């Protein structure tokens, strides 16, 4: 009989449930807990293997009849903006993102609530309370940060902070090989700014500045309109049966 080390993660499988992306499909997930002093190392390995983090859980699809979910990561050092993305970047040059410890605030939750009510009223997160939001941000054993985006002020060059109302927020894991965008949200009334796209562009810039080669975007689902934006950022890599494969 063999004995697994006490530190080895245990994996579990969820029951089937309706797929939120493809009508008529059912999803299952395999998951494990990210806890203890090895949580950062484990999160790195699992993210590189196609897992995503939610609080202290790492999960990935394990559907019986579908393989539509594909893990996507941007090759940050080689990324070049096309004309459309340059316009988004220029449109938001008056914003600055300030990163700090993963701590929730009432201001964040108000923006989060406004975003959900406008964009995901029927989604699985639609009934999240302020306590649920706090858990989403704080319940982490890995290196996680909040990035808050506001308009630049006269002292932003020195303070690296914006001023005024909060316009967008990203919850981001800092890994050994990249930044993983766990969740992001923004003011839905500012659709002309394309703030979701801008935050991805900003994360690419941050990854390059920190010497990190990748920005992890989670899953792309072919056939799902919700996910189409993720394949705009090239070159990128998709995780397949043979490992990470480049897509230009």
pLDDT tens digits, the chain, 248 residues: what are they?
A: 444 445 688 999 999 999 888 888 899 999 999 999 999 999 999 999 999 999 999 999 999 889 999 999 999 999 999 999 999 999 999 999 999 999 999 999 999 999 999 987 666 677 899 999 999 999 999 999 999 999 998 888 878 888 999 999 999 999 999 999 999 999 999 999 999 999 999 999 999 999 999 999 999 998 788 888 999 999 999 999 999 999 99
The CATH homologous superfamily to which domain 73-247 belongs is Gcn5-related N-acetyltransferase (GNAT) (3.40.630.30)
pLDDT at 4: 47
pLDDT for 123: 65
Taking the CB of residue 165, how many other CB atoms lie within 10 A of it? 11
Q: Provide the pLDDT for residue 2.
A: 47
| Contacting residues for 175 by C-beta, under 8 A, at least 6 apart | 40, 43, 44, 47, 143, 212, 216
pLDDT of res. 7: 64
Residues of the chain with CATH 3.40.630.30: 73-247
| Two tokens, residue 153 | 């002020």
* Packed helices 83-91 and 195-209: angle between N→C axes, nearest 10 degrees: 90
- Give residue for tokens 């995901």: 120
């Amino acid at each position: 009989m063999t004995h697994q080390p006490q530190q080895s993660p245990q994996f579990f499988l969820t029951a089937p449930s309706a797929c939120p992306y493809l009508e008529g499909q059912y999803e299952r997930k395999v998951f494990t807990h990210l806890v203890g002093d090895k949580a950062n190392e484990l999160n790195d390995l699992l993210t590189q293997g196609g897992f995503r983090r939610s609080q202290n859980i790492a999960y990935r699809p394990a559907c019986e009849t579908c393989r539509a979910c594909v893990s996507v990561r941007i090759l940050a050092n080689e990324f070049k903006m096309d004309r459309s993305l340059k316009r988004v970047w220029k449109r938001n040059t008056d914003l600055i993102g300030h990163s700090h410890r993963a701590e929730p605030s009432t201001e964040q939750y108000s923006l989060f609530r406004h975003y959900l009510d406008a964009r995901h009223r029927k989604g699985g997160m639609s009934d999240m309370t302020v306590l649920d939001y706090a858990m989403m941000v704080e319940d982490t054993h890995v290196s996680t940060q909040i990035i808050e985006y506001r308009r630049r002020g006269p002292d932003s060059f020195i303070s690296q902070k914006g001023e005024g109302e909060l316009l967008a927020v990203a919850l981001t894991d800092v890994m050994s090989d990249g930044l993983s965008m766990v969740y992001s949200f923004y003011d839905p009334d500012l659709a002309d700014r394309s703030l979701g796209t801008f935050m991805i562009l900003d994360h690419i810039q941050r990854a390059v500045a920190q010497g990190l080669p990748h920005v992890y975007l989670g899953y792309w689902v072919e056939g799902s309109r919700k996910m189409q934006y993720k394949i705009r950022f090239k070159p990128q890599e998709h995780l397949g049966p043979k490992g990470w494969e480049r897509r230009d």
